[in-house]
Amino acid sequence: MKKIQISPSILSADFSQLAYEIKRLEEGGADMIHVDVMDGHFVPNLTIGPPVIKALRKHCSLKFDVHLMISPVHKYIKDFSDAGADIITFHPEATENMKETISLIKSLDKKVGVSLNPDTEIKTISDYYDNIDLVLIMSVFPGFGGQKFIPEVLDKIKSLKEIKDKNNYNFDIEVDGGVNFSNSKDILNAGANILVSGTTIFKENRGDIKKNIETLRLV
C-alpha cells in the first residue's frame, strides 16, 4: 500500500505571503504543494500563472503538484514545466488529444496527472492507465475553494482502486474538494493515497498546520 500523502492547496493560503505560507507547509510536514491554476474560462475563477510558480519555486524543496484548470491546456504546459512544476495534471475536456498532451508532459520529464470532474466518467481515461502517474478525482466541481465534499464520488474512487489493483497499475489516486477531518477516513478507505486540502489545513485548530496535516494523514 502506498504511503498516505498530503498535498495542501495554496488556494486557501494568504496570497500576500505565499512564500511564507509555503515554508509553513514544508515545516508542517506536507508531502507536496498543490497549486490550483484557473483561467476564468475553463473554470469560473482566476488564480496564478507560471511567473508566480517560478518565484515560489526557490522558496520550497517540495514537489509542486500543479493542477491545470485551463483550456486549451496543451499550449501552456511547457510554461508551467519551465516554471518548476513537478506533476502536471490536466482535464480531458481541456485538450483535443489526450495522448499528445500526455506525451508532451512526459517529454518534459514531468509526472502526468489526469483530473476527473464529479460528472466525468472513469472510462474517459481507460486507454491511458499505463501512461499516467496520477488520477485526480475531483470531489467538488472545480473553480472555488471551500466547497462541500460530494459523497457520491466515493464510489468512483472505489471503482478506480479496483481497476488499479486488478491490473497492477502504479498511478496514485488523489482526491481534491472539501476534504476534511470528517470525511478523510472514508476517502482513504475508498482507495485514495493522496489528499488535497486547503481550508482544513489552513483554518482548523487555529491554523496549526502541522497538527492539521498529521490529523488528516492519520484520521
Structural domains in the chain, CATH included, are 5-10+13-218 (3.20.20.70)
**The three grid cell numbers given for residue 6, joined into one nine-digit string:** 498530503
Report pLDDT for 143: 74
Report pLDDT for 71: 94
| Residues in the chain where the model's pLDDT stays below 50 | none
List active site positions: 36, 176
Does the predicted TM-score (pTM) go above 0.75?
yes
Report pLDDT for 219: 65
Report pLDDT for 147: 79
Report pLDDT for 29: 97
Report pLDDT for 2: 72
